[in-house]
Chains A and B, each alone.
Chain A
Amino acid sequence: MDIKEITRDKSLGMTIIVKTISRLIVSFILVFGLYIVLYGHITPGGGFAGGVILAISYVLLILAFGGKVAVAKMSGFWASMWDNLGALAFVVIGFLGLIGGYFFLNFINHGTPGKLISAGIIPLCNIAIAVKVGAALYAVFLALSIYGRISTEEDE
């Protein structure tokens, strides 16, 4: 179902005010999360904080529209897959450092401090962590809210 139709349908999710505001704001949250991740090495923030914000944009979808909209965008399978891939990317970055002689060596040119393209592997690590944290937090929220609730309802 289209997200606009869900907004109009009073039987789904929260009130129409919440749904409209969430629909407008969710992309900005996503972009803000990306900004925090990509600028993590030169401003406050970083992979974890940015990843949490990325996950929150999906969590907002669940809260406002119910589980189905968010699950249609990213299912539990892909959430756990991205979670694993993010962790794998981080470990791989660590292993690539061995080429330069040390585990987790910052083997890329460090660049000028303060510029976006600088700090070697730190931005790459931030991106890997953000994918890992964002997907994991979203998966945890899915597991605790949607899947958890289904199984208790079946029991009762």
Chain B
Amino acid sequence: MLSHTSLYILDIALMGMGIYALIAKRHIIKKIIGVVIIEYAINLFLILIGYRAEGVAVAPIQDAEIGATELAAKAVDPLPQALVLTSIVIGLGTLALMAALAIKLYEKYKTFDMSEINRLRG
């Protein structure tokens, strides 16, 4: 069983991995994957903020079996989940745009190597 802190550390490690892929890899698709990993690490971070380490966490939905006070004490924070959903949608938009650009770049330059795509300089 992992403690709360180590979850955060793992999350930051995931983000570091994304940054590594973004900086060190020259392949366009790998760069895109790096960006997506960074995005997801932040999303995971937001989810972790709403997580309750103590006690049993339940989904933030009220029904007949669970009273309002018990729900407030036990349920995970729903706001970060709503925020993450929005941020995932935005991530989907950017990912689609990145994929489209990657296809178009390949059409024009016949390569996925970012170091060969260098017409703009100075």
Residues of A bordering B, CB below 8 Å:
43-44, 48, 113-114, 133, 137, 140, 143-144, 148, 151-152, 155
Contact = CB atoms under 8 A, between A and B. Distances in A.
B47 interface: no
Given A140-B96, A148-B103, A152-B106, 7 more contacts: A48-B85, A48-B89, A144-B100, A144-B103, A148-B100, A151-B107, A155-B107
Contact count band on B: 10 to 19
Interface of B is mostly: helix
Contacts of B96: 140, 144
Interface of B: 59, 61-63, 85, 89, 92, 96, 99-100, 103, 106-107
A68 to B, nearest CB: 21
Nearest to B62: A113
Contacts, number: 23
A144 B63 contact: no
Nearest to A144: B99
Contacts of B92: 137
Nearest to A137: B92
A151 to B, nearest CB: 6
Contacts of A143: 100
